[in-house]
């Protein structure tokens, strides 16, 4: 049975660990990101260690058109995807009015529009072929609004909502969608999002390998949502919804602000 994954954002962090874990399971894959060098190094590493084929596509998938172009490249190469891992994404610290607007628009394009585009195009391919699995990398940020990372938190709220809804629709077609909602993870994310020095950046971070394993295993079981830390899961699901909204906003603000 074929077991080919498409992993976006595989050049670093959680994405590279998804690739390593999938290779351990003996799966072929297509790894995508803008930086070619780390993708090629990952291909060498995984093909040497496991009996798998890794295809590198160094491409920006930051817009729906680029996501469509990626899908076309897969078609042209005759590669069929069994597992879609929509992992590429980035955040950005700062008061909304002070941030560069185009940066937030790029964030929405990548974190939301490209993810929706790939889910639609590859989801249709999966339906035609009788099934498949999707893992949408969201965040614990999706459970409440995030002052000083307002756009990022809102993009992830979209991802968690969208993933659950399409899972409900697609189950009859043999396709599941799992939202992975990690807390802080030690990757390039903090630096890219300019979060150094915030309370968030000082919190204990999970390793990207443990987070990738948590999400991948949940996806294989067809779970709706995976949160890598059980204590955080309890707080987000059982305490935060009962707290006064203004208190939640202040609490989140205190760890995002500089
Ligand atoms: N780290 C955390 O604390 C944390 C917590 C919750 C959720 N997450 C989520 O986890 C996911 C992975 O992030 P990470 O923590 O592993 O951070 P990371 O190390 O910065 O990885 C981000 C990946 O996305 C790729 N990427 C960024 N823009 C892209 C674009 N336009 N086109 C194609 N690829 C692009 C990057 O590669 P290139 O630069 O080579 O393109 C990189 O491979 C993200 O969706 C993030 O929101 C992270």
Is the Cβ atom of 184 under 6 angstroms away from ligand 1?
yes
In the chain, the number of structural domains is: 1
Percent of the chain residues past pLDDT 90, beyond the cut:
99
> Which residues touch 220 (CB under 8 Å, ≥6 apart)?
133
Q: Does the pLDDT of residue 219 top 80, yes or no?
A: yes
pLDDT band of 98, cuts 50, 70, 90: very high
* Kind and range of the H or E run holding 48: helix 36-49
With vertex at residue 92, the alpha carbon angle to CA 16 and CA 242, rounded to the nearest 5 degrees, is 95
Please tell me the total number of residues recorded for the chain in this structure.
Answer: 258
Q: Residue 94's domain is classified under what CATH number?
A: 3.40.50.720
- Nearest atom, ligand 1, residue 208 CA: 16
CA of 215 to the centre of ligand 1 (A): 15
pLDDT in tens, 100-114: 999 999 999 999 999
* CA of 223 relative to ligand 1 center, distance in Å: 22
The reported pLDDT for the residue numbered 2 is 81
Is it the case that residue 1 has pLDDT exceeding 70? no
CA of 242 to the centre of ligand 1 (A): 31
Q: Yes or no: say if 80 and 125 are a contact pair by the CB < 8 Å rule.
A: yes
- Locus of tokens 């993870």: 185
Boundaries of domain holding 110: 5-256
Separation between Cα atoms, residue 192 and residue 215, nearest integer Å: 22
DSSP tag of 1: -
Cβ–ligand 1 distance for 88 under 6 Å, the answer: yes
Burial status of residue 48 (CB atoms within 10 A of its CB: 0-12, 13-18, 19 or more):
exposed
Angle, helices 208-221/13-24, rounded to nearest 10 degrees: 60
User: Which two tokens mark 229?
Assistant: 């830390």
Angle between helices 115-129 and 150-170 (to 10 degrees): 10
35 ligand 1 Cβ < 6 A: yes
**Average pLDDT in the 231-250 region?**
95
As a whole number of Å, the CA-based R_g of the chain is 18
Decide whether any atom of ligand 1 lies within 6 Å of the 218 Cβ: no
Angle between helices 64-76 and 115-129 (to 10 degrees): 30
**CA–CA gap between residue 155 and residue 158 (Å, rounded):** 5
In short, whether 87's Cβ falls inside 6 Å of ligand 1 is: yes
Atom 46, ligand 1: which residue's CA is nearest?
Answer: 89
How much is the average pLDDT of 35-56?
Answer: 98
Strand order in the sheet with 29-33: 54-58, 29-33, 5-8, 83-86, 132-137, 175-180, 225-226
pLDDT (0 to 100) of residue 166: 98
Query: CA-to-CA distance for 31 and 37, rounded, in angstroms?
Result: 12
Torsional class of 110: left (φ above 0), alpha (ψ -120 to 50), beta (otherwise): alpha
The atom number, within ligand 1, closest to the CA of 140 reads 6
| Average pLDDT of span 182-189 | 96
């Amino acid at each position: 049975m074929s077991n080919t994954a498409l992993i976006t954002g595989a050049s670093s962090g959680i994405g590279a660990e998804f690739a390593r874990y999938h290779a351990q399971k003996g799966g072929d894959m297509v790894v995508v990101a803008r930086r070619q060098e780390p993708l090629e190094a990952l291909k060498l590493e995984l093909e040497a260690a496991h009996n798998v084929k890794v295809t590198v596509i160094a491409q920006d998938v930051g817009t729906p058109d680029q996501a469509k172009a990626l899908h076309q490249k897969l078609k042209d190469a005759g590669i069929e995807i069994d597992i879609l891992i929509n992992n590429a994404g980035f955040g950005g610290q700062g008061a909304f009015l002070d941030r560069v607007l185009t940066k937030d628009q790029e964030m929405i394009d990548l974190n939301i529009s490209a993810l929706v585009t790939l889910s639609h195009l590859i989801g249709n391919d999966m339906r035609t072929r009788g099934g498949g699995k999707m893992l949408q990398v969201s965040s614990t940020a999706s459970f409440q609004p995030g002052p000083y990372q307002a756009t990022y938190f809102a993009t992830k709220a979209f991802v968690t909502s969208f993933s659950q809804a399409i899972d409900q629709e697609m189950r009859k077609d043999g396709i599941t969608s799992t939202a992975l909602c990690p807390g802080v993870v030690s990757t390039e994310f903090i630096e890219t999002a300019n979060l150094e020095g915030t309370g968030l950046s000082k919190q204990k971070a999970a390793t990207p390998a443990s987070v990738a394993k948590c999400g991948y295993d949940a996806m294989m079981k067809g779970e709706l949502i995976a949160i890598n830390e059980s204590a955080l899961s309890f707080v987000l699901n059982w305490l935060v919804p009962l707290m006064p909204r203004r208190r939640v906003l202040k609490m989140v603000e205190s760890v995002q602000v500089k």
